[in-house]
């Protein structure tokens, strides 16, 4: 009996470790991350290539609310040690089909705070809105970052599921980082 319980627990743990954060080799990737500073706002731009995977597009086509979450993290770059996390953001885009008007409502949130809601007429435009971070002002640069080499890392969580009936999983891209830049009193360089 102990052996069976041990084997069951080992299988659950192995399933949780391999299923939590599935990075599909044939799934979408983020080809690059662009950043720029306007005033004290650090803008982040990223997109999925070649776009959303088929199962996410099927969910969108079924009329269910479909959410894609982009995780963005600002780090101080260090050559010989782990990078130091300074701030992180979650940008979530939800597309919902509206059958009465035959269009899609796109809701954008940054850290659970509503940025805007807009309506697009086609599923293709809804899928395009889910598959990118459109130059979003994500981080506010301050004196605590002066003179430091910085970088931004981004990944996209585009699906979820359950393994063994109880272990939650997520389908996501690998982390992709921006180029290294330095914040100065006159801006980024």
Residues 6+ apart with CB under 8 A from 8: none
Q: Quick one: DSSP state of residue 29? A: B
C-alpha to C-alpha distance for 96 and 112, rounded to whole angstroms: 17
Which is nearest to 60 in space by CA: 69, 71, 52?
Answer: 52
Quick check: 151 pLDDT over 80?
yes
**pLDDT tens-digit map of 11-44:** 555 444 434 445 556 789 999 999 998 888 999 9
* Alpha-carbon gap, residue 12 to 14, rounded angstroms: 5
pTM: 0.80
CA 174 to chain centre: 10
Angle subtended at Cα 105 by Cα 101 and Cα 108, rounded to the nearest 5 degrees: 170
Please give the residue that has the higher pLDDT: either 80 or 158: 158
* CB count in 10 Å sphere of residue 35: 22
Among the ranges 14-18, 127-131, 141-145, which has the highest mean pLDDT value? 127-131
Architecture of domain 2-52+69-93+134-188: Sandwich (2.60)
As a whole number, mean pLDDT of residues 71-97 equals: 89
pLDDT reported for residue 20: 42
Residue spans of the domains in the chain: they are 2-52+69-93+134-188
Q: Which two tokens stand for residue 118?
A: 């807009």
């Amino acid at each position: 009996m102990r052996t069976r319980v041990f084997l069951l627990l080992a299988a659950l743990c192995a399933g949780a470790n391999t299923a939590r954060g599935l990075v599909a080799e044939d799934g979408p990737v983020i080809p690059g991350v662009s950043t720029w500073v306007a005033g004290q706002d650090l803008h982040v731009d990223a997109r999925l290539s070649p776009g959303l995977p088929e199962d996410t597009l099927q969910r969108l086509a079924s009329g269910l609310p479909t959410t894609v979450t982009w995780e963005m993290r600002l780090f101080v770059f260090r050559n010989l040690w782990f990078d130091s996390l300074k701030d992180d953001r979650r940008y979530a885009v939800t597309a919902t089909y509206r059958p009465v008007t035959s269009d899609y409502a796109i809701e954008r949130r940054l850290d659970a705070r509503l940025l805007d809601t807009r309506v697009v007429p086609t599923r293709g435009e809804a899928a395009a809105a889910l598959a990118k971070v459109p130059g979003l002002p994500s981080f506010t640069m301050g004196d605590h970052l002066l003179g430091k080499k910085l970088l931004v890392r981004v990944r996209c969580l585009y699906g979820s599921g359950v393994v063994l009936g109880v272990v939650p999983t997520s389908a996501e891209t690998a982390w992709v980082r921006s180029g290294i830049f330095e914040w100065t009193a006159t801006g980024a360089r």
